[in-house]
Structure 1
Amino acid sequence: MGDLDLRFYASIFFRRLPLFLAVAIPVATLGLAVAFMLPKIYQASAKILVEAPQISADLARPTVQTNAYQQLQVIEQQITTRENLVALAQRLGVYGGEFAKLAEADIVEDMRERMTFEELQQDGYGGQGARMFSVSFEGRDSRIAADVVNEVTEIILQRNESLRNDQARETLQFFQDEVARLGTELSVIEARILEFKNTNRDALPDSLDFRRTQQSTLQERMAALEREEAALRGRRNNLVELFEATGVIANAAPLTAEQQLLQDLKRTLSDQLVLFSETSPNITSLRARIAALEESVRSSNSADEDRLQKTKPPSELDLQLSDIDQRLAFITREKETIGKSLAKLTASVSATPANETVLNSLERDRLNLQNQYNVATARLAEASTGKQIEAGSKGERFTVIEPAIPPQDPIKSNRRRVAAAGAAMGGGLGLGLIFLLELLNKRVRRPAEIVQMFDAQPLATIPYISLPDEKRRSYLRPGLLFGAGAIPAALALLALSHASVGQFVQKIAARLGEGRIM
């Protein structure tokens, strides 16, 4: 049954073959004509090599850190802008006389489709192959395609050099400005620190230990004076009470105020020598005062001896009380002086923590600025070196290793695909027409269809017997259908052949005019 069905369908196809050919041949011929009418497309290409820096990065760090692929992407976006593409097409005559007729948007879109930027992968030892890029352009004129590629390549080289030099120059200028700014801020903070130290020179943290030692010494001196004052007042009271009780006092030779002061200074000198060296300002000052008092005491003793010889000496009580009163007055003045010094030292010691906080803050700011200044100075040196490298073209750069030349042969076009698509479309339309006609045909042509229609098995089937006129018409119809399809196909092929012959004649005439054919 399956064989009968295949035989039946094959008979239908062969019976409809003229109709199939009448549809398939014109469509296939039309596709072939379109394929031959497609223009030739030429593709010109150039190769750009990314050269490694001539100076190792370990010796001199380059300023431009952008890799070559990113640079090419930036340059590609700059080249394929609307203004640049239109200017390039007009300058090189890509569209010839049709340039003025085309819309600017169409020119830009077409130029972008024709132009190709591609990274070429080169294998090397350890996967470290050379980096290369290719620039391609497609056009109907091979010379124009090569000119466009060479022009774009030249623009890429110029933009790459300009991009690297501009980046190096801007980096150098940035760090120059940064160093100048940080230097100014550093000078300002140093001036503030100096002014603060001058204003608070008596309450700075670096002299805190010395002031505390002075404070302790003055406090001890104050305690000694208070003890001496108490002893002198007790002695004075005892002398007065003894004189009132007996009318006489013990024979004694009291010291004068200067003599007592001299003894006090000598004790103070002994105490200070425990804490300070001989070259200390305090020791030097005390020795000077002791020397002056010794000279004064010697002069006073000489004067007293002369006066005693001329005048009657005062009473013993008056002399002792006078000496004690002078000593008490001296102690009072000394206590006032020491009290003022202690108050000043206490105030400076109390103000030192706050001053230390402010000074530490200023010093911290100065240290931060100094670190930033040092880093900026180091970066400035690197930027200057990078600028010199870029100025001398010693860094990474693009080099054209294979410029574009006019291609001799066109690239593979879509002619075969168009012709094959035309043939496939013709066959599909022919088969579709046969299927549609058979679908609309309701006549009974097989015994199986009779069984399906009446649901009964016939005893016998008698085939249709054609008349002589019907046979002639059946033979004539396929010929007419085949002719209807073959004539347009022949006309199309004839037109193509005439066009090819005409083009061939024109080429021969052009060569004869140039003298290339003798």
Structure 2
Amino acid sequence: MGDIDVRFYLSVLLRRLPLILLCVAVTTAIALVVAVLLPRSYQSAARILVEAPQIPANLVRSTVPISSLGQFQIIQQQLTTRDNLVMLAAKLDIYADEKEKPPVEYLVKDLRSRIIFEQTALTSVDGASVFTIGFEAGTPALAARVANELATSILSSNQKQRTDRAGNTLEFFNDEVKRLDGDLSRIEADLLKFKNENRDTLPESLAFRRAQQSTLQERLISLEREESDLRTRRSLLVETYMVTGKYPTGEPLTAEQQMLLDLNKALADQLTVFAESSPNIVALRARIAALRGKTVPAKQEGVDTRAQSGLDLQLSDVDRRIDAIEKERVQIAEKIASLTQSITATPATDIRLNALERTRENTQTQYNTAIAKRAEASVGQQIEARSDGGRFSLLEEATEPQQPMRSRRRLVVLGGVLAGLGLSFAIIVLLELLNKTIRRPSELVQMLQTQPLAVIPFIATPNETRMPPFKRKLNSVARAFSYR
């Protein structure tokens, strides 16, 4: 033990033993009084069975994603909120025996300490759990009543929250279907309006318009060819009349008339190359004039009105047909220009049309998805309405306990004994610190700063000799140490 003087400290304890016993007796008596006055406490508990979904999730999936255990934990937190605890205390008159209504902060803290939530072992292999909901109160009836009220609140809250969530999910998808249906109708109306406004440039009619454009171009070429033939015919009529003095009737021409006709054609060809003063032109005109004088009598040129009227009729028919061709050419040209313009504008129309159709397809896909989700939400709501998605059931309701909770009186008494020991030790230490009497050689050495020559032992008196051995021994030990 080193430098510790065990015998000295034992002598001090023996000398102060009455003080120790007095302190222990006083604190123990106080603890006994407190233990007797301590109110009895009763605890009652209800048991709730949390079952797994009744319908397999691979067949029908509930629209409430939270698990039953998670749902129970949420409800637990909700029940122990400030407002709910205040309402619970007011509803069941938990503090009816109190003279004054306790403060809200104390009420909430006290109720939270008295409410018990415990999860016991699993009762089945399907994931079912059993939860115990208990309450501690001063009377058995109050403990059972509060525990049953908490269990009922848990059951009703679970059913309400799950059905509300399923109902909210169904309502959301109903609104989503309604919104998407409106968007789809609006997009289809815009698409129809766009097609009506751009029906001439729609891509589905592009092949038809190109074929129509090709047909009109071929028709235009045919009309140009016909017009050329008519103009050639008209020139032939005029030329023949000028050469022969009559319009062609199908009769064969004489050699002179044929030669005159050829010379006129040659003159027309030469005029495209030579000028009027060219010798070739002058010679050709002289030959034509000489030959015409032989073939066309002078009196016949101005007198044959019948030939003139027949020529006019044929020329009129030719001119009327040429005018009709010209008008038709203008119309065809306008149609070709319109078709060309529509064909040129088709790519831009196609891009805008594709954007509208793509928007409609995306909206249609969303609409179909929302319809499917709404069907699932409707089934999920039915599941939750039947409590098949994760059932909470009351396995055992709380009853009034027959015996109080395990008493804490023993602990109070034991605490009183320990408190007495601690108080006595503290008083002894304080008294020893205040006692300046020299009782040991070490204290004498410390005071004199020198070593004594000898130590005189304790000598018993005649009275002490007559004492019982045990008491005499105690006195001798105590006195010996006191002298030291």
TM-score calculated relative to the size of structure 1: 0.70
Provide the C-alpha distance between the structure 1 equivalents of 2:191 and 2:203, rounded to a whole number of angstroms.
Answer: 14
Change (3 A) 1:196 1:389: same
TM superposition shift of 1:318: 5.0
For residue 177 of structure 2, the aligned residue among 173, 176, 179 is 179
Query: Is 2:14 the counterpart of 1:20?
Result: no
Aligned to 1:49: 49
Q: CA–CA distance in 2 between the matches of 1:99 and 1:347?
A: 98
Q: Which residue of 2 aligns with 1:11?
A: 11
The structural deviation recorded for 1:466 is 9.3
1:449 corresponding residue in structure 2: 443
Q: CA deviation at 1:206?
A: 0.8
Distance (whole Å) between structure 1 residues aligned to residue 441 and residue 97 of structure 2: 71
Farther off after superposition, 347-356 or 458-467: 458-467
- Coordinate RMSD, CA, aligned: 3.4
**Deviation of 1:62 (Å):** 1.9
Equivalent in 417, 421, 430 of residue 423 of structure 1: 417
Aligned pairs (5 A) from 1:467-482: none
Measure how far apart 1:434 and its partner are: 1.8
The letter of the residue matching 2:421 is G
**Structure-2 change in CA distance of 1:332 and 1:77 (3 Å):** same
Unaligned stretches of 5+ in structure 1?
Answer: 254-310, 479-518
Q: What does 1:81-230 correspond to in 2, within 5 Å?
A: 81-98=81-98, 101-122=101-122, 125=125, 128-230=126-228
Q: Are residues 396 and 129 of structure 1, via their aligned partners in 2, closer, same or farther at CA, if it must alter by over 3 Å?
A: closer
Q: Distance in 1 between matches of 2:37 and 2:312?
A: 149
**Residues 48-75 of structure 1, C-alpha deviations (whole Å, 9 max, x = no match):** 1112333222332223222223332443
2: CA distance, partners of 1:20 / 1:414: 25
Moved more, 187-196 or 26-35: 26-35
CA contact (8 A) 2:39 2:138 kept: yes
- The DSSP-based 3-state class of the residue aligned with 2:65 is coil
1:384 to partner: Cα distance: 1.9
- Give how far 1:312 is off: 5.3
- Offset of residue 242 of structure 1: 6.2
Q: 2:60 aligned with 1:60, yes or no? A: yes
CA 1:71–1:99 in 2, change beyond 3 Å: closer, same or farther? farther
**Counterpart contact for 2:52–2:127, Cα < 8 Å:** no
Shift of 1:339: 0.9
Where 1:223 maps in the other structure, the secondary structure is helix
- Which of 369, 375, 400 lines up with 2:369 in the alignment? 375
Structure 1 residue aligned with 2:454, among 460, 477, 480?
460
CA shift, 1:211, in A, is: 0.6
1:146 to partner: Cα distance: 0.9
Mapped to 2, the partners of 1:12 and 1:79 lie a distance apart of 59
Offset from partner CA, 1:282-326 (integer Å, 9 cap, x none):
xxxxxxxxxxxxxxxxxxxxxxxxxxxxx9566776566445434
Partner of 2:428: 434
Describe the shift of the 1:344–1:470 C-alpha distance in structure 2 as closer, same or farther (beyond 3 A). Answer: farther
Deviation at 1:367, TM superposition (A): 1.4
| Counterpart-to-counterpart distance in 2, 1:383 and 1:2 | 83
**Using the alignment, how far apart are the partners of 1:321 and 1:312 within structure 2?**
14
- Distance in structure 1 (CA, Å) of the matches to 2:326 and 2:250: 25
Whether the aligned pair in 2 keeps the contact of 1:90 and 1:99 (CA below 8 Å) is no
> Is the Cα–Cα contact under 8 Å of residues 246 and 308 in structure 2 kept in the other structure?
no
* 8 Å Cα contact 2:247-2:307 kept in structure 1: no
Q: Is the 8 A contact 1:451 1:458 kept in 2?
A: yes
What's the counterpart of residue 39 of structure 1? Answer: 39
Pairwise mapping of residues 348-359 of structure 1 onto structure 2 (< 5 A)? Answer: 348-359=342-353
Deviation at 1:9, TM superposition (A): 1.8
Shift, 1:137, TM fit: 0.3
Shift of 1:149: 0.7
Cα deviation, residue 240, structure 1: 4.5
Give the equivalent residue in structure 1 for 2:400: 406
Match of residue 302 from structure 2: none
Shift of 1:91: 3.9
* Cα displacement (A) at 1:228: 4.1
**Corresponding position of 1:485:** none
Q: Secondary structure at the match of 1:98?
A: coil
SS at match of 1:46: strand
Is the deviation greater in 358-367 or in 217-226? 217-226
**% identical aligned pairs:** 50
SS at match of 2:120: strand
Cα 1:469–1:105, aligned 2, differ >3 Å: closer, same or farther? farther
3-state SS of the aligned residue for 1:459? coil
Structure 2 SS opposite 1:426 = helix
Q: Compute the displacement of 1:239 (Å).
A: 5.6
Aligned twin of 2:378: 384
1:364 aligns with 2:362: no
1:226 to 1:120, Cα distance in 2 relative to 1, 3 A: farther
What displacement does 1:327 show?
3.7
Larger Rg computed on CA atoms = 2
Larger mean CA deviation between 330-339 and 31-40 belongs to 31-40
Counterparts in 2 of 1:100 and 1:449: CA distance versus 1, 3 Å? closer
- Cα deviation 1:124-167 (Å, max 9, x = unaligned): 55xx5422222110011122101111122122222222222222
Name the CA distance, whole Å, in 1 between partners of 2:217 and 2:433. 131
CA distance in 1, matches of 2:4, 2:148: 69
Q: State how 1:68-79 maps to structure 2 within 5 Å.
A: 68-79=68-79
> What CA distance in whole angstroms lies between the structure 2 residues aligned with 1:451 and 1:352?
124
Whole-angstrom distance in 1 between the partners of 2:361 and 2:222: 47
Q: How many residues align?
A: 415
DSSP 3-state at the match of 1:406 = coil
1:327-384 C-alpha deviation (Å, 9 max, x unpaired) = 4223212211201211221222233223223322222222122112111111221222
CA distance 1:457–1:106, shift in 2 (3 Å): closer
Does the CA-based 8 Å contact 1:142-1:408 persist in structure 2?
Answer: yes
